[in-house]
Structure 1
Amino acid sequence: MFILSPGISCKEVAPEKNEQYSLENSTVTLSYRYSQQTTAGDEFYWYQQYPGKQPQFIISHLGTGRLLSDPVSGLSVTVREDEIHLDLQISSAALTDSAVYYCALSCDTTLQK
């Protein structure tokens, strides 16, 4: 009997703050820290979740900051120069932007030898 266990090499991305507050019509920056420097092949996916609802995809980008998805009005993403900090900016924040935000990334699921 042979058991093959795929080695999954995932890096971590975590929010810098668990909660953030702002005034309406201001710009809100949600910052996340990546466990290592980003690479061009890293893919980041951002989601927004309202209470009692499923998370909804909002935007995605590469580790270079280049968008993978269509631009979304009022949203922008930045990979900072140190390449371990990612920012999602919400311009002209409104009460309807009050939600939980998630940043996820694709994992390298190739077999490890």
Structure 2
Amino acid sequence: MKSIFVCKGEDKVIQPGEEVIAAEGDSLTLNCTFETSFSQSYLFWYKQEVNIYPKYMLKRDTYGTKENSPEFKEDRFDAELKDKSVPLKIQKLHVSDSAVYYCALQPTVTGNSKTLYKNLQSKANII
């Protein structure tokens, strides 16, 4: 049986748009809340550096699944989906962590990369 996901108008993620300033070695948390009509939720975090497409970092879901890309190890990059929130925690900051970070709900990431990029434009944390 094939699953079909439809992104309805009430399905969205909300991120503060402000710039976050932190020092090398510090830890920080980037907030992301979401609204969805689905009982099962799949949330993703992406990192976008200048002139590069967003890189997949991690996925969390309501089943308790934790999946991190090999480049973003859980000891430094972690998130916990709780209620309608999935904050990204980054520990032991490196200068190379400076980027725009995007939170996405599953219907946002089922399309092609152009659609993903367009949908994520206004949902950013910059550090």
Q: TM-score range by the shorter chain?
A: 0.7 to 0.9
- Unpaired segments ≥5 residues, structure 2: 1-5, 111-127
**Pair 1:75-2:77 in alignment:** yes
**Cα distance in structure 2, aligned partners of 1:62 and 1:18:** 26
1:40-59 residue pairs with structure 2 within 5 A? 41-59=40-58
- Unpaired segments ≥5 residues, structure 1: 1-6
Q: CA RMSD in A?
A: 2.8
> Structure 1-normalised TM-score?
0.73
4+ aligned runs moved over 2 Å, structure 1: 7-10, 35-39, 63-66, 68-71
SS of 1:9's partner is: coil
More helix by share: 2
Q: Give the fraction of aligned pairs with identical amino acids, expressed as a percent.
A: 23
* TM-fit CA distance, 1:107: 2.4
> Structure 2-normalised TM-score?
0.66
**Pair 1:26-2:26 in alignment:** yes
Instruction: Return the index of the structure with the highest Cα Rg.
Output: 1
* TM-fit CA distance, 1:69: 4.1
1:55-66 residue pairs with structure 2 within 5 A? 55-63=54-62, 65-66=64-65
* TM-fit CA distance, 1:68: 3.5
Equivalent pairs, count? 101
**Cα distance in structure 2, aligned partners of 1:90 and 1:37:** 29
Partner amino acid, structure 2, of 1:30: L
